[in-house]
Amino acid sequence: MDNVRLVEVGPRDGLQNEKRPLSVADRVQMIEGLIEAGLTTIEAGSVVSPKWVPQMEGSTEVLSSVGHREGITLQMLVPNFRGFEAARDAGAEEIAIFASASESFSQKNINCSIAESFDRFLPVMEGARNAGMRVRGYVSCVLGCPYEGPVALSSVVAVASRLHAFGCYEVSLGDTIGIGTPRAAATMVRAVAAEIPVSSIALHEHNTYGQALANILACLEEGVSVFDSSVGGLGGCPYAKGATGNVATEELVFMLDGMGIKTGVDLPKLARVAVETAAKLGRDPVSPISRILAAS
């Protein structure tokens, strides 16, 4: 495989668990820096209640401020039809919906069962079709749940397949608590790929136990070519105690560059975004690569 596509989730999944919210202006600057570094698919934010996720307040303003860019996809995560309408009115061209492979996590995260979550998706999918918007699907807890522990592979396959059947052009398989290991990740991807095209599968790895890059490599060898990552290793999950950040985009780019796989990302520019964003959050980037490259 010569090329992969990275989905930068830092401005949404990366920031939603940080104690210090960034202003709309700071988030716009962050996204501008990511675009300048060569990233072309970016989660700009999510339309959720600021009561529950205050870090995402003003996401529609962020999207409107960045505006349409040729060749750039700015994605908005929406939990329901009201969120879809707000994203549409702000100019979103792509939205994302999220489901869980774990019943317990579904209840804790979005206060409904897996079946009920799909009922909520119906009007969103219809609205997106009418508006000519693409929809990306997320599946959480594909390799383990903070409440249930192991998650049945059959549940992962069922949820991913249903999202694809609903019309999601791509389904991102999320190791929400970062508990997976390479063989388990590859087995999971293989099972999902038996039901939907591997070209429609993405991987979303958290690095809680330091396994993210190893898992990505294992799934790359299974034919997956789309990977979610977060600049500076920002992130976590507010509903999964102890879950650390997403795999750092700069670490992933460094690995792929070393393998001769093209990402189109300028690593020093990306490192500067990581360092600048972390400073605004009052913390250091998770990845030492960022500090090394940003100083060079």
Give per-residue pLDDT as tens, 93-105.
Answer: 999 999 999 999 9
User: What mean pLDDT, rounded, does the chain reach?
Assistant: 94
Instruction: Give CA–CA dist 104/253, Å, rounded.
Output: 34
Q: Indicate the range of 56-65, 221-230, 266-275, 287-296 predicted with least confidence.
A: 287-296
* DSSP calls for 161-188: HHHHHHT-SEEEEEETT----HHHHHHH
pLDDT at 293: 77
Q: Which amino acid is at 187?
A: T
Task: Read off the tokens for 207.
Answer: 């690095």
Predicted TM-score of the model (pTM): 0.95
Residue 214 and residue 212: Cα distance in Å, rounded?
Answer: 5
Position 274 pLDDT exceeds 90: yes
Distance (Å, rounded) from C-alpha 175 to C-alpha 96? 17
Q: How far is CA 224 from CA 68, 96, 127, 197, in A?
A: 28, 19, 29, 10
Residue 233 clears pLDDT 80, i.e. is over it: yes
3-state secondary structure of 96: strand
Residue 266 near residue 249, CB atoms below 8 Å: no
Q: Is the pLDDT of residue 284 over 80?
A: no
- Both tokens of residue 201? 């599968």
Model confidence band, residue 17 (pLDDT cutoffs 50, 70, 90)? confident
Confidence of residue 194 (pLDDT cuts 50, 70, 90): very high
pLDDT value for 240:
61
19-36, pLDDT tens digit by residue? Answer: 899 999 999 999 999 999
Which regions of the chain does DSSP assign to beta strands (E)? 5-8, 41-46, 73-77, 94-100, 134-140, 170-175, 201-205, 226-229
The first and second tokens of residue 212, run together, are 């993210």
Give the CA distances from residue 139 to residues 16, 23, 60, 289, 290, in Å, rounded to whole numbers and listed in that order: 18, 29, 24, 29, 29
Annotated active-site residue 145? The verdict is: no
pLDDT at 21: 94
Question: E strand or H helix at 104, and its extent?
Answer: helix 103-110
Q: Which residues pair with 8 in a beta bridge?
A: 42, 229
Q: Does the pLDDT of residue 153 top 80, yes or no?
A: yes
Domains of the chain listed by start with CATH number: 5-294 (3.20.20.70)
pLDDT at 227: 98
